Chains A and B, each alone.
Chain A
């Protein structure tokens, strides 16, 4: 199981989104998974400052880069930007097992997904968070499971606070994405796939890079020399 060194830009990037009602613990899930941290409620009243996190993982000897995006609090008034949804391969739809309305509103989040994601292949997982508060639970595991089945997606319960089941949720999601190669495999240069939607906004090389010639300002390009004219590194003129 040795993975030979790869060119960083060859590692496929998977874009994963978090959505769900306010204060169900989306940011906590994210921080638990990427940094293995949990901030107490006083520290995190509402999402400020969490944008996206990058985490490298290895599945079956193959390396992947996850870019996981938080809502930046824009879910509060349902003002997530359409660009937020672009190019996502996986979506975590979270609710709070102790707050019934967060569970009830799952279907509106599915509608929103329907509107803004153009590929039906996008892998979805319903995540019931805060199972550490077992005593105040109001949504049963069965209910959650049933709903997820109805929507044809994965289901997991977890606790970001205790760190229970969080990695499992991400693992399941990622495994499902990886077993759907059409979601992430690069197509040959110049080959365009019908209806392909580029993952907009992934901070590094895009996963389904079907369109040669996309330029990301945050990557260094192979060109050098601003100013008069234009030269390539190996330019002989």
Chain B
């Protein structure tokens, strides 16, 4: 294997989302990019993996730094009861004969039944919700990567209140209007709150200090006099607060973003990417990079990275020294002016630049771990049904009515996507496995077949919460309460697609509360880096996963929520982009952008109470754009 050329402007190690966005942006700006990854799949820590891939991923992670308390199991295949192993509802396409009870173990490996549909799984290592407005979606559209991907709307958001009930979250004007279970006074209070969040008045300096200091739930009940169930709904269902201590300022900012996003693509603030989401987008950006000339090499281990003196870069531009990269299976070394790598890949080099070794894990004291779980079940949680039950809960008019206007729809399609939020301490009474409770919010994102995350009739649940790094609790312990609750809720709904007539052994469909046994259960803790990307050395950047907010008003690190990840990654990529192409380019780009704005066609403004932005009068030089590069111009 040999390369056409060996020197590049930028070498990127790891095809994680941030690196992939950066790669596409740099290639588009005519920098030469070589992009390497140790894995034989794209997207690295953001990848969407098949069942067998995630199995081997998990096995290889026992030994990796940063991941701890990993536990993977396939309960449905090891379940001893021979009577009703909840066989993964089979796929007719694949045509395997009914109820093949072939549980030839490997007790450790994925069940054979599921492996037959291996490629139908796209299990995400970084589950995300994509806000319908914001840097991430803007960049997707600008870069045209949006045309490579499709999405689903997040259909449901609900807050867990007790083992029997989940409450739907009224998160938009429309929801509130239609809400049957809400009293008029509560509706008005909610509307006022949402209007305030959207107004941005709270951002004024005179309000900030006070709002910064007060935790959001307290603010909601004291200032807005919201009853407890609405406090829960707004704090955890709308603002997605990760703890009861989150500052009002942070939470209001999220509520505002939520409201801005709602309505762009439908009655939800969020989109769910198909085929695992972030991993698919990373692939899209990699393709975009390749379209503009980026060179990609996967499945080759990057062995070493060294500074190399004096290399004539040709074309007059003499780089003082360059990075020299040794890649397994490549005869020649690759050289590059800049290197952007993932933390993990830098750590794994046989021979890493000695310049600035990672500062010793002093951060362990105040550090935070993300706790993740992936659960594959053969049925969904019924977001609509369960919410109708007791009087304490309320519900929005049945989903179907919304669609009714457009086209007559089958009475009830199973839910496809949903977010179930477990507020802090909501699981306390559960008391499974020595206290299944958790003092922080646990998010559970459900994705069905329509998201192409799993085979027909199956559902993937992604769980996520956080815990201080020094806590000894295992990932399993932390999530067990939530997992039990999900299994119980799922037990109340029927299997998604009752397989038509399976030779006689039909279950009574009315049998309530079946025991649901997961097809896959994977949990682990993942250490998060303390800060945004770090400059390791001149022209060497290391990108941590997950990306962290650098500008946040809080000093305390809170890991990003599911909904923050894509935007944080995009911002991270843009920051790196400008550092590489030069900050002066950014100013040019900003000036050009404001010129473009002025130049807008006045017809755009017709009917909006004015002739145009500036009456269309402007001099030539004002509109002349300066030469420069752009982050996806």
**21 A-B contact pairs sorted by A residue (CB < 8 Å):** A74-B287, A74-B290, A77-B1, A192-B450, A194-B91, A195-B94, A195-B456, A197-B120, A200-B149, A200-B150, A201-B284, A213-B152, A215-B150, A217-B146, A223-B263, A227-B198, A227-B260, A227-B263, A228-B172, A232-B405, A237-B177
Among B1-25, those with CB < 8 Å from A are: 1, 4
B275 at the interface (CB under 8 A from A): yes
A25 at the interface (CB under 8 A from B): no
| Residues on A with beta carbons closer than 8 Å to the beta carbon of B413 | 190, 212
> Contacts A73-B290, A223-B264 known; A229 to B174 CB distance under 8 Å?
yes
| Residues on A with beta carbons closer than 8 Å to the beta carbon of B409 | 189-190, 212
| Residues on B with beta carbons closer than 8 Å to the beta carbon of A195 | 91-94, 120, 455-456
Partner of A229, one of B172, B288, B407: B172
In the complex, which of the residues B120, B173, B405 has the most CB atoms of chain A within 10 Å of its own CB atom?
B173
Whether B274 lies near A223 (C-beta < 8 A) is no
Whether A214 lies near B151 (C-beta < 8 A) is yes
Whether B291 lies near A50 (C-beta < 8 A) is yes
In the complex, which of the residues A118, A195, A223 has the most CB atoms of chain B within 10 Å of its own CB atom?
A195
Whether A118 lies near B120 (C-beta < 8 A) is yes
Q: How far is the CB of A210 from chain B (nearest CB, A)?
A: 9
Give the top 3 A-B pairs by smallest Cβ distance, nearest first.
A229-B173, A195-B93, A230-B263
Given contacts A200-B149, A228-B173, A230-B262, 10 further A-B contacts (CB under 8 A): A48-B291, A81-B283, A83-B287, A195-B91, A195-B93, A201-B150, A215-B265, A216-B151, A230-B174, A231-B263
Whether B297 lies near A77 (C-beta < 8 A) is yes
Q: How far is the CB of A11 from chain B (nearest CB, A)?
A: 17
A187 at the interface (CB under 8 A from B): no
> Contacts A81-B283, A194-B91, A214-B150 known; A228 to B198 CB distance under 8 Å?
yes
| Residues on B with beta carbons closer than 8 Å to the beta carbon of A223 | 263-266
Among A103-134, those with CB < 8 Å from B are: 115-116, 118
- In the complex, what residue of chain B is closest to A50 when comparing beta carbons? B291
**Distance in angstroms between the alpha carbons of A11 and B255 in the assembled complex:** 40
Contact with B along A74-97 (1 / 0, CB 8 A): 101111011110100000000000
Whether A84 lies near B172 (C-beta < 8 A) is no
Q: How far is the CB of A202 from chain B (nearest CB, A)?
A: 8
**Distance in angstroms between the alpha carbons of A200 and B284 in the assembled complex:** 11
Partner of A201, one of B148, B261, B271: B148
> Contacts A81-B283, A215-B153 known; A194 to B293 CB distance under 8 Å?
no
> Contacts A82-B42, A229-B172 known; A218 to B147 CB distance under 8 Å?
yes
- In the complex, what residue of chain A is closest to B93 when comparing beta carbons? A195
Q: How far is the CB of A198 from chain B (nearest CB, A)?
A: 6
A154 at the interface (CB under 8 A from B): no
A148 at the interface (CB under 8 A from B): no
B141 at the interface (CB under 8 A from A): yes
Interface of B toward A, CB cutoff 8 Å? 1, 4, 41-42, 91-94, 119-120, 132-133, 137, 140-141, 144, 146-153, 172-174, 177, 194-195, 198, 259-267, 271, 274-275, 280, 283-284, 286-288, 290-293, 295-298, 405, 407, 409-410, 413, 416, 449-450, 452, 455-456
Whether B452 lies near A215 (C-beta < 8 A) is no
Whether B264 lies near A226 (C-beta < 8 A) is yes
| Residues on A with beta carbons closer than 8 Å to the beta carbon of B260 | 226-227
> Contacts A74-B287, A214-B274, A226-B261 known; A189 to B407 CB distance under 8 Å?
yes
- In the complex, what residue of chain A is closest to B263 when comparing beta carbons? A230
> Contacts A83-B280, A227-B263 known; A215 to B456 CB distance under 8 Å?
no
| Residues on A with beta carbons closer than 8 Å to the beta carbon of B150 | 198, 200-201, 206, 214-216
- In the complex, what residue of chain B is closest to A195 when comparing beta carbons? B93
- In the complex, what residue of chain A is closest to B456 when comparing beta carbons? A194
**Distance in angstroms between the alpha carbons of A72 and B293 in the assembled complex:** 8
**Distance in angstroms between the alpha carbons of A174 and B435 in the assembled complex:** 61
- In the complex, what residue of chain B is closest to A203 when comparing beta carbons? B147
Whether A82 lies near B292 (C-beta < 8 A) is no
Whether B148 lies near A48 (C-beta < 8 A) is no
**Distance in angstroms between the alpha carbons of A204 and B147 in the assembled complex:** 8
A3 at the interface (CB under 8 A from B): no
Whether B283 lies near A228 (C-beta < 8 A) is no
Q: How far is the CB of A213 from chain B (nearest CB, A)?
A: 6
Whether B141 lies near A217 (C-beta < 8 A) is yes
**Distance in angstroms between the alpha carbons of A217 and B145 in the assembled complex:** 10
A46 at the interface (CB under 8 A from B): yes
| Residues on B with beta carbons closer than 8 Å to the beta carbon of A230 | 172-174, 262-263, 266-267
| Residues on B with beta carbons closer than 8 Å to the beta carbon of A192 | 449-450, 456
Interface of A is mostly: loop
**Distance in angstroms between the alpha carbons of A71 and B265 in the assembled complex:** 31
| Residues on B with beta carbons closer than 8 Å to the beta carbon of A190 | 409-410, 413
| Residues on B with beta carbons closer than 8 Å to the beta carbon of A232 | 405
Q: How far is the CB of B289 from chain A (nearest CB, A)?
A: 9
Q: How far is the CB of A98 from chain B (nearest CB, A)?
A: 21
Q: How far is the CB of B96 from chain A (nearest CB, A)?
A: 12
Whether B259 lies near A228 (C-beta < 8 A) is yes
A172 at the interface (CB under 8 A from B): no
A49 at the interface (CB under 8 A from B): yes
**Distance in angstroms between the alpha carbons of A81 and B290 in the assembled complex:** 11
A51 at the interface (CB under 8 A from B): yes
**Distance in angstroms between the alpha carbons of A228 and B278 in the assembled complex:** 27
Whether A214 lies near B283 (C-beta < 8 A) is no
- In the complex, what residue of chain B is closest to A120 when comparing beta carbons? B93
| Residues on A with beta carbons closer than 8 Å to the beta carbon of B153 | 213, 215
| Residues on B with beta carbons closer than 8 Å to the beta carbon of A217 | 137, 140-141, 146-147, 149, 151, 265
A41 at the interface (CB under 8 A from B): no
In the complex, which of the residues B153, B274, B286 has the most CB atoms of chain A within 10 Å of its own CB atom?
B274
Partner of A81, one of B42, B147, B195, B274: B42
Q: How far is the CB of B120 from chain A (nearest CB, A)?
A: 7
| Residues on A with beta carbons closer than 8 Å to the beta carbon of B280 | 83, 200
| Residues on A with beta carbons closer than 8 Å to the beta carbon of B144 | 51
| Residues on B with beta carbons closer than 8 Å to the beta carbon of A51 | 144, 287-288, 291
Q: How far is the CB of B182 from chain A (nearest CB, A)?
A: 15
A211 at the interface (CB under 8 A from B): yes
| Residues on A with beta carbons closer than 8 Å to the beta carbon of B264 | 221, 223, 226
**Distance in angstroms between the alpha carbons of A86 and B275 in the assembled complex:** 10
A61 at the interface (CB under 8 A from B): no
Partner of A214, one of B177, B295, B450: B450
Whether B283 lies near A229 (C-beta < 8 A) is no
> Contacts A46-B4, A48-B292, A223-B265 known; A215 to B271 CB distance under 8 Å?
yes
- In the complex, what residue of chain A is closest to B50 when comparing beta carbons? A82
- In the complex, what residue of chain B is closest to A211 when comparing beta carbons? B450
A181 at the interface (CB under 8 A from B): no
> Contacts A228-B194, A237-B177 known; A49 to B291 CB distance under 8 Å?
yes
- In the complex, what residue of chain B is closest to A204 when comparing beta carbons? B147
Whether A49 lies near B275 (C-beta < 8 A) is no
| Residues on B with beta carbons closer than 8 Å to the beta carbon of A231 | 174, 263
- In the complex, what residue of chain B is closest to A222 when comparing beta carbons? B406
**Distance in angstroms between the alpha carbons of A234 and B405 in the assembled complex:** 10
- In the complex, what residue of chain A is closest to B27 when comparing beta carbons? A48
Contact with B along A47-68 (1 / 0, CB 8 A): 0111100000000000000000
Q: How far is the CB of A217 from chain B (nearest CB, A)?
A: 4
> Contacts A230-B262, A231-B263 known; A200 to B148 CB distance under 8 Å?
yes
Q: How far is the CB of B273 from chain A (nearest CB, A)?
A: 10
| Residues on B with beta carbons closer than 8 Å to the beta carbon of A72 | 287, 290-291
| Residues on A with beta carbons closer than 8 Å to the beta carbon of B92 | 194-195
Whether B293 lies near A83 (C-beta < 8 A) is no
A225 at the interface (CB under 8 A from B): yes
> Contacts A214-B152, A215-B265 known; A84 to B287 CB distance under 8 Å?
yes
- In the complex, what residue of chain B is closest to A197 when comparing beta carbons? B452
Q: How far is the CB of A3 from chain B (nearest CB, A)?
A: 25
Q: How far is the CB of A105 from chain B (nearest CB, A)?
A: 14
